[in-house]
Homo-oligomer: A and B are copies of this chain.
């Protein structure tokens, strides 16, 4: 399971895809990455569980992090990888082993970068947040992550995606009163009364605020509804679970207050929330990165681990090969041409 970092980015991506690394089972890939990095004398290498961190120590005035998760969603009969029509297919091809290939190629090639670089490879991103390897690293070894700027190499189709939106889930509970369904007028039907909650959602006007020069687009949606006691009973409860995706100009607290205000007539319980991250593209390290890689940046609408860097006080952007929309699909692939292009742009940045 040796990784040959002299292979071109596409071939290296294929090698990475062919070492299966479903969340929680990343040992083989972590070992291969560690071994490949230990062969590079300009890097010091550290590990924590299935996370691997490699750092240059050139005494540069600026340090940047290039980070990527090494796990994938479950294999769906899409291994080993194969190439067809300029595309590499296979589990993790887009999310995000092509990004890892760029990280590894840069680690091998950027021997004397103008910025000190910390390469972070971490586990368990695709599953519940408390197992996230980047979260664990930030608790066990925050000093390993210290930096002025971070690039999370998630698939962005080769365009810089700044910051990320926050996400909040809440249960909106509609009460009722039970009765036998043959005498429905003796009760109050909680499912029928839920129409008003759905009307609130249907008439909700979403914000599209501009934050640090990028336009975000919010959303407030029901992602679950559940009501019913028995087939012959007027139900006394119906719960609508809503998901609020909010722009990074709002904190979690502000988002929660907003949702409670929207559903002021009902019992609202916030069950889950994670703050977003401002893009920070107006700050020096991000601006330099953007100038080097080019293109028109856009807002990241989904939540990503850039929010963890933001929480550590490190501005971060998303940038990498691969198409976000096909992540987690059986047929995911990466356009092979995107990989060396991304690598070349980042290499130019590290040299500038």
Contact = CB atoms under 8 A, between A and B. Distances in A.
Interface of A: 165, 167, 169, 180-185, 189, 191-192, 194-195, 198-199, 201-202, 217, 219, 221-235, 238, 240-241, 243, 245, 272, 301-303
Given A192-B202, A240-B191, A182 B227 contact: no
A169 to B, nearest CB: 6
Contact of A232 (B182, B192, B227, B243): B243
Contacts of A301: 182-183
A103 to B, nearest CB: 25
Given A191-B221, A224-B235, A225-B227, 14 more contacts: A169-B231, A181-B245, A182-B245, A183-B301, A184-B219, A189-B201, A191-B198, A198-B198, A221-B234, A222-B227, A223-B229, A224-B228, A225-B238, A231-B243
Given A194-B198, A195-B195, A231 B223 contact: yes
A151 B158 CA distance: 79
A300 to B, nearest CB: 9
Nearest to A197: B195
Contact of A302 (B180, B229, B241, B303): B180
Nearest to A164: B182
Contact of A181 (B223, B227, B234, B238): B223
Contacts of A184: 219, 221, 245
Contacts of A303: 182
A182 B230 contact: no
Contacts of A272: 231
State how many copies of this chain the complex holds. Answer: 2
A43 B222 CA distance: 64
Nearest to A327: B180
Contacts of A180: 302
Contacts of A235: 222-224
A209 B234 CA distance: 22
A231 B224 contact: yes
A264 to B, nearest CB: 19
Which of A223, A230, A272 has the most B CB atoms < 10 Å from its CB?
A223
A258 B195 CA distance: 22
A59 B74 CA distance: 76
Nearest to A217: B185
Nearest to A227: B225
A169 B181 CA distance: 11
Given A182-B167, A231-B169, A231-B272, A221 B243 contact: no
Nearest to A303: B182
A53 to B, nearest CB: 29
A183 B245 CA distance: 9
Contact of A225 (B191, B219, B233, B234): B191
B223 A234 contact: yes
Given A169-B231, A201-B192, A182 B225 contact: no
Given A198-B198, A231-B272, A301-B182, A221 B189 contact: yes
Nearest to A238: B225
A227 B301 CA distance: 24
Which of A229, A230, A231, A302 has the most B CB atoms < 10 Å from its CB?
A231
